[in-house]
Amino acid sequence: PDEKQELAQRLEQQQGSQRRQRRISIIFFSLVVVMTIAIAVILVGFVFQRPSPEPSVAPSPMPPESPESASPSLPTIPSFTQTTPPTAMPTAIATTSVPTIDLEAAWITLIQLRMPNTTFEDPASPHGQALEWMLQDDGTRELQGNTHRIIQRFSLAVLYYATNGPTTWRNGRWLAPSNECWWGPTNPIQCTKGVVDSLTLSDEALSGSIPGEIGLLSSLTYLNL
């Protein structure tokens, strides 16, 4: 009887041990299943909740500016670049094709920058006559970019018209197309490197008054009227 009882206890212990192992296996399997489901749910939620990146929009290129919409350019004003005047009598000078109206506006601006009180409203005034002669004179028109020579010829022309040069002067070569340093048969104008520095007009029958524009001859050191 003792052996049977001992065998029964062993059997009961083995069965109990097997039941515990099955319960542990069931619990472990259940935990694995639950964790798998939880991980799957988390992954699915993360995928669906993650915001999709917004597509980048490339900036559209600016349309090329049409010539009509571009800012209008200012009209070109003839430039005045001083050059060294010739020291010898020049040969015949060809007429330039620069429009007279452009030269007139440019020369008036140039002259009034040097002497603001000089006006050109009256074409019969010495200033107006001098400007008109310059616009018609081929030798002066050729000097459109030589500010020194333009101012010098204008000053001498105003002096000529202000002292009744066309009617009383004896010098027939004044206001010639040639270089102003060569005007007159007796060399009344003396120049140094093309710049007037001496005037001797005592032999001319001058009348009237000496114009202020003679002051434009900034290098004049001798004047004999």
Q: What is the pLDDT of residues 18-46, one digit of tens each?
A: 788 888 888 888 888 778 887 877 876 66
Looking at residue 93, its pLDDT comes to 38
pLDDT band at 49 (very low <50, low <70, confident <90, very high): low
Mean pLDDT, residues 193-199: 94
Strand-pairing partners, residue 189, are 199
Residue 76 confidence (pLDDT): 44
Predicted confidence (pLDDT) per residue in 59-87, tens digit:
555 544 544 444 444 344 344 444 444 44
As a whole-number percent, the residues of the chain with pLDDT over 90 amount to 40
Mean pLDDT of 96-101: 59
User: Whole-prediction pTM value?
Assistant: 0.56
pLDDT in tens, 151-193: 999 999 999 999 988 888 876 678 999 999 998 777 789 999 9
Q: Which is higher by pLDDT, 80 or 218?
A: 218
